[in-house]
Structure 1
Amino acid sequence: MTLPQVHILDFDGVYQAQTVLKSLATHVFFENMTGVRYMILPEKMKEVERILPERPDITFLGDGEFHHLTYLLIKKIKRPFVLLVFDRHLDVREGEFLTCDNWIRKALKLKHLMRVVVVGTQEQEKIHRVFYSEADPHKILKLLGRHPVYLSIDKDVLNIEVTGWEKGNVPLEDLLNVLRSIPKRKILGADICGEPDPVDVWRLELSERVNLSILHALLLDQSHYVPGNEHLERKPTYMT
């Protein structure tokens, strides 16, 4: 099985000090591009799409105000799939332009998206094909059903202060357990956002450790997992 590639999209320098994470990336895009944070205007769309990975794989997006890039990544999926989102906020607002707080609503119009499962949100709205769950692997696997899955993780869902936003209520270990429980053959790709401010050194160190933990859980063969806190330090399985 081909291992997924790791991509980093760095629009504000937040990954520059995350040297271990950068060393694992296939490609790092670093440019202070305007017109991308929070929303993308139609005239910027093609420029942004040109810098995105050709296939979903695993992509680090920056802070939560870049979460709408997920929509552009999953547009590339040409088979039925389920979108699994970990996010403190429910990004389903109405709006003409693509923004970080409406991208899920726009994604629901994609031909191949069967349903959306949202974990950890503190806002629930009754929307057709949107389901809600706590971070329970058994419940989530049932909601995913037989379709492959794309995962989108905003670290503001976690109950640790890693982002510039308020924290959520999902323990890191619960998130990692869900990621480990999903058969790797079912995962089409994943993205991770929720970085802190680039000048917040303490949070940057914590954020990198969390990023590595998530990456490890996405790539780790469950049969080799040993419970404990070592996931914050161990290397992903493809490292030598």
Structure 2
Amino acid sequence: MNKPVVIMNFTGVYDYEPFSHNKKFTWLDCTHLQGVECYCDKEGAHALKRVIANYPADGIHFIDSGNYHYLTKFWTDKIQQPFSLIVFDHHPDMQPPLFEEMISCGSWVEDTIESNPYLRKVIIIGASENLIKHVSPKYRQTVEFYSEQSLQHEASWKQFSNETIDTPVYISVDKDVLNPQSAVTNWDQGSLTLNELEHLLSIILKHEKIIGIDICGECSSTLNIFEAEKGTQLDNTANQELLNLFLNCQTSNL
């Protein structure tokens, strides 16, 4: 294993996912942090940046539920070269922030575009067309969408396969892009199967230079015991398969 695998534990959900119980993985305890769930205030941001300070962007990072997807911004802030960001998410995460001094799980892509001088392009895959319609037109030059609906057609798959990216890429996966039979998350979900997601990722891994990867979308702890057990089993399977894909892809840099 050439690149580090980092488990960022906020909710305790990884305790119930066997894929993460590998002694070679680094666990970062975030359970004690305040001001970091969904919305991250200045103090929370400073605390999280201290937690990840000694770890590189060029690894595989599991970042708990979608409530913490804004961590992708903090990981990509470490990149010191031109790069592109590929996001698999049922939501564009490009809402105008409700509070100017806070980053959120719903605004982090917009925040990253506005603040990262090395970011050249963003590709968002699997988002709902209804949500894409609400993205500000000023980002259309920077952001390219492959909507959930468009991926139902062969033409979009061919277009994606021929996508040209002239910089290294960072990949961020929110498992809410998957259908409920493939993962259980705490947000409304898309329609991709795990096999379809893996196929799309394989295209990227085959053709692009990969800087780093993160994965979120763990099961909510608010579910009842039966649903939570089923959810963690599905999420564990999805995480294990995605991790195997990233680690075993011979043509990637991981």
TM bin (shorter chain): 0.7 to 0.9
Equivalent pairs counted in the alignment come to 223
* Residue pair 1:77, 1:112 contacting (<8 A) in 2 also: yes
Give CA deviations for 1:166-197 in whole Å, capped at 9, x if unaligned: 22011211110122222466110010000012
2: distance between equivalents of 1:81 and 1:139?
21
Corresponding position: 1:103 with 2:108: yes
- The answer on whether the counterparts of 2:35 and 2:43 sit within 8 Å (CA) in structure 1 is no
Counterparts in 2 of 1:205 and 1:25: CA distance versus 1, 3 Å: farther
Q: Paired residue for 2:127, among 108, 121, 141?
A: 121
Q: Which residue identity lines up with residue 10 of structure 1 in the other structure? A: N
Q: CA separation in 2, counterparts of 1:152 and 1:18?
A: 20
Distance 1:28 1:208 in 2: 16
Identical counterparts, % of pairs: 29
Instruction: Classify the secondary structure of the residue corresponding to 2:48.
Output: helix
Per the alignment, do residues 117 and 87 of structure 1 end up closer, same or farther by CA in structure 2, a change over 3 Å counting? same
Q: Which residue of 2 aligns with 1:215?
A: 243
CA distance in 2, matches of 1:215, 1:66: 19
Aligned-partner SS, 1:29: strand
In the aligned structure 1, how far is the partner of 2:61 from the partner of 2:24?
A: 9
> TM-score by structure 1 length?
0.85
The residue that corresponds to 1:18 in the other structure is 17
1:82-128 Cα shifts (integer Å, max 9, x gaps):
10000001111122111110000011121110010000000213423
Give the drift of 1:157: 0.5
Is the CA contact (8 Å cut-off) linking 2:19 and 2:239 kept in structure 1? no
| CA contact 1:7–1:58 (8 Å) conserved in 2 | yes
With over 3 angstroms needed to count, the CA separation of the structure-2 counterparts of 1:121 and 1:113, relative to structure 1, is: same
The higher-RCO structure (CA 8 Å, 6+ apart) is 2
**TM-aligned CA distance change 1:220 to 1:45, over 3 Å:** same
Q: CA separation of 1:137/1:38 partners in 2, compared to 1, >3 Å: closer, same or farther?
A: same
CA contact (8 A) 1:137 1:177 kept: no
| Matching of residues 57-206 of structure 1 within 5 Å | 57-95=59-97, 96=100, 97-109=102-114, 110-122=116-128, 123-124=131-132, 125=135, 126=137, 127=139, 128-133=141-146, 138-160=158-180, 161-183=183-205, 186-198=209-221, 200-206=228-234
8 A Cα contact 2:89 2:173, kept in partner = yes
Give me the whole-angstrom Cα distance separating, in 2, the residues matched to 1:30 and 1:144: 38
Offset of 1:22 from its aligned partner?
A: 2.6
Q: Which runs of 5+ in 2 are unaligned?
A: none
Distance 1:51 1:167, change over 3 A: same
Match of 1:232 in 2: none
CA contact (8 A) 1:6 1:24 kept: no
CA RMSD of aligned residues (A): 2.1
**Retained in 2: the 8 A contact 1:180–1:222?**
no
Paired with 2:2 and 2:157, the residues of 1 have a C-alpha distance of 23
Which runs of 5 or more structure 1 residues have no equivalent in the other structure? 224-237
Matched residue SS, 1:131: strand
Q: 158-167 or 61-70: which moved more? A: 158-167
- TM-score, normalising length: structure 2: 0.81
